[in-house]
Structure 1
Amino acid sequence: MGQDPITLIISLVGGIFSFLLLMRFALQLSQADYYNPISQSVVRFTQPVVSPLQKVLRPIGRLDFATLIVAVLVKAAAIFLMVQFSPMFASAAGVNPVHMLIFALTGTLNTLLTIYFWATLGAVIISWVAPDSYHPAPQLLLQLTEPLFGLARKVIPPIGGLDLSPILIFILIQLAQSYLRPFVII
């Protein structure tokens, strides 16, 4: 609430763009439908900044390291700009580049965990309200979270038709984010 406008703008633009990049990474990782209109929009929006690095770093299986590296660089650039232009960070003008990289990596991981948290919550709600929806958004959420649910079901199998795997996912995400929180700036 007490943020100055420069910090707010840098944080918002950096956060939205890194969110889109990490959404692209997560969709590729989960092998979501590439032809879904939402997937197409995410790819189209992020392609100009990812394609130069993809020429050097080809995806390995489902892992697109170029997209992940660009997401970390966007976070690092946002942190650098916040440190340079914000009076709130004026005392930290000489921040170590290694510290900025650590903040960028933890911020990227935190954003990825947040995407999976909300996607899991959305998938749970969709499974109650409209399990057989043909809309692109619910289909994408279910495709994004199904690999995660599959891993969690190996630990907690469904009991009497009740799938408790989202609870395990929520607990693990919250636990990981609690450890990352001290290192997250944006």
Structure 2
Amino acid sequence: MGSNYMTDPVVFLIDTLFSLYILAVLLRFLLQTIRADFYNPVSQFLVKITHPPLRILRRFVPAIGRVDSSSLLLALLLQMLANFSILALKGVGISFVALTLLSFTDLLKILLDIYVYAIFAGALLSWFAPGNYNSVASILYSLTDPLLNICRKVLPDLGGIDLSPLVALVVLHLAKMMILPPLQQLASLLS
């Protein structure tokens, strides 16, 4: 009981700090992939906080086509370090392969969550502040429009009502339900 008293707050801090930075790295990766406006203040913030480790990593890890592989590798390494630290604090051992798979699964969950929250936030903004420009809304729409445009092509015309956010949210939640549990089970079998 005494060890949990200090372990839980440390685990919380490790998880929170790593998760926030990994989120920034993944957002930078996504915004680079969709060629978002990098003069946007949100983009500038993400570039500034993620540039130091990426500058070093890019010396050794080249991009693969348009894919910034160094950003993905940095996110994976950070997630592996976070998971390893948390499991070590809890006294749980894990193999390298299981740690890698668990970390990949966590990153995939974060990516899906980014889209879920971005679509939800974009939908709310369109209801409460339609037509208003701000830097956050611009980034949200840049991020979600490619996915929503695919949904719009599949949906029939419903007389001006756009249900593409709802369809995208359903698809994203189904993906989380169908992809993540098997990966988590495999990681637990390999540990």
The verdict on a shared fold, with TM-score over 0.5 as the criterion, is yes
How many Å apart are 1:59 and its aligned residue?
Answer: 5.4
Residue 113 of structure 1 corresponds to which residue in structure 2?
112
* 1:132 and 2:131 matched: yes
Question: How many residues get paired?
Answer: 178
Partner of 1:57: 62
Aligned counterparts, 1:84-103, within 5 A:
84-86=88-90, 90=91, 92-93=92-93, 95-103=94-102
Distance 2:102 2:20 in 1: 17
Contact 1:158 1:164 in 2 (8 A): no
Distance 1:141 1:127 in 2: 11
The whole-number CA distance in structure 2 between the counterparts of 1:148 and 1:72 is 24
Q: Could you tell me how far 1:29 is from its partner in structure 2?
A: 2.0
Which string of whole-angstrom CA distances, capped at 9 and with x for unpartnered residues, describes residues 48-87 of structure 1? 11122223312522x222111111111100001112223x
1:10 corresponds, among 10, 14, 18, to 14
Query: How many Å separate the matches in 1 of 2:48 and 2:181?
Result: 31
Q: Give, in angstroms, the shift of residue 110 of structure 1.
A: 0.3
Go from structure 1 to structure 2 and tell me whether the alpha carbon gap of 1:158 and 1:7 turns closer, same or farther (over 3 Å shift).
Answer: farther
Equivalent of 2:86 in 82, 89, 94: 82
1:117, 1:170 within 8 Å by CA — same for their partners in 2?
yes
Q: Which runs of 5+ in 1 are unaligned?
A: none
CA distance in 2, matches of 1:18, 1:176: 21
How far apart are the structure 1 equivalents of 2:34 and 2:141? 10
Question: Out of 26, 30, 55, which is 2:30 matched to?
Answer: 26
Match of 2:169 in 1: 170
Structure of greater Rg: 2
Query: How far apart, in 2, do the equivalents of 1:171 and 1:50 lie?
Result: 34
Letter in 2 for 1:133: N
Q: Distance in 1 between matches of 2:167 and 2:62?
A: 34
Kept after mapping to 2: 8 A contact 1:20/1:42:
yes
Task: State whether residues 113 and 177 of structure 1, in contact with CA within 8 Å, keep that contact through their aligned partners in structure 2.
Answer: yes
Q: Which runs of 4+ in 1 moved over 4 A?
A: none
Q: Structure 2 length as normaliser, TM-score?
A: 0.86
Deviations 1:149-181 (A, max 9, x none): 111112214421111111111111111222315
- 2:48 and 2:105 map into 1 onto residues whose CA distance is 26
2:142 aligned partner:
143
CA shift, 1:13, in A, is 1.1
